[in-house]
Amino acid sequence: MTEFLQFVYQGVVLGAVYALIALGFVIVYKSSEVINFAHGELVLLGGSFVFLWRNQIGLPFAVALLLAIVIMAGVGLGIERVVLRRMVGRPVFAIVMITLGLAIVIRQIVTSVWGFADRHIDDPFGATVYDVGALSVTAASIWTLVATGLVLLGFFIFFRSSKSGVAMRAAAFDQEAALSLGISVRRMTAISWAIAGATATVAGVFIATFPKSLSPTVGFVALRAFPAAILGGLDSPGGAVIGGLAIGLIEVLTQAYQPSWLGNSFHVVAPYAVMVVVLMIRPYGLFGTREVERV
């Protein structure tokens, strides 16, 4: 039982990071109907920027993180402005491919600057392990839960209550109606990309905390948050959080208890298997809106 609870805790921690990444997918999709397959690489790039400012330049961790967040918000804005704005009204297929192309370019830029080696961001969380009841809890995991929780909370307050947040929701709900009310849909799309870049940076730090580290494979790990976004429904931020936690739990529990007939390291593909099954039963995810086609 203790062992099981330990795995559940690990699953929740991993799920919190997945939730943060899935939120990035959802924000961008909601505002511009673009599935950003480069989001995993944004997570990698964000983490690498923190590494740059913290380890290579030697700034304090908080400053390094803030700087990286600002830069990554800028990167998000830049991608939207330079590439994706030109793709408005083009077939979905073209947009999927363009983000896949971006993913390849960003990953190679990261590897050519920082190489393939594992990098440890010199974070203040340390490798301390506390005993909470029968569970052993790392300091890093507590920080992960607190930080992702705060970022998610901040986002939902912004999205529900602030003027920009309400405008974003309006723009996502009906672009023409929003335009007629004087909301700049373009600006809202730009803001959503900036938020995606910023949250990707935070996710990039926490996906690489002790005992894990930053390497180019982080892009693929982050892509596993993609089933989370699908599970919750691509246009539902709340769904992204639930989907993220579910996928995190599924991954850790499969890793712990996988029967041998599923083959080695089935947990790596378990999120995708769940995603395929969910799509078969509920094609628009658990909390997504059904698309209605008018003749």
Give the interface with other proteins as residue ranges (CB under 8 A): 35, 83, 86-87, 89-94, 96-98, 100-105, 107-109, 111-112, 226-227, 230, 234, 263-264, 266, 268-269, 272-273, 275-276, 279-280, 283-284, 291, 293, 295
Of 180 and 264, the one with the shorter C-beta distance to other proteins is: 264
Q: CB of 96: closest distance to other proteins in angstroms?
A: 5
Of 147 and 219, the one with the shorter C-beta distance to other proteins is: 219
Q: How far, CA to CA in Å, does 12 sit from each of 153, 185, 218, 265, 269?
A: 16, 35, 19, 20, 18
The vertex-48 CA angle with 205 and 106, nearest 5°, equals 120
Query: Nearest to residue 85, comparing CAs of 198, 199, 193, 196?
Result: 193
DSSP-derived 3-state class of residue 214 = strand
Q: CB of 157: closest distance to other proteins in angstroms?
A: 29
The vertex-116 CA angle with 110 and 118, nearest 5°, equals 105
Q: CB of 166: closest distance to other proteins in angstroms?
A: 26
Residue environment code for 264-293, b if the CB has 16+ CB neighbours within 10 A, otherwise e? eebbebbbeebbeebeeeeebbbbbeeeee
Of 33 and 156, the one with the shorter C-beta distance to other proteins is: 33
Of 130 and 257, the one with the shorter C-beta distance to other proteins is: 257
Q: CB of 131: closest distance to other proteins in angstroms?
A: 36
H/E element, 137: strand 135-138
Q: CB of 151: closest distance to other proteins in angstroms?
A: 25
Q: CB of 80: closest distance to other proteins in angstroms?
A: 14
Of 205 and 278, the one with the shorter C-beta distance to other proteins is: 278
Q: How many CB atoms lie within 10 A of CB 199?
A: 30
Of 91 and 133, the one with the shorter C-beta distance to other proteins is: 91
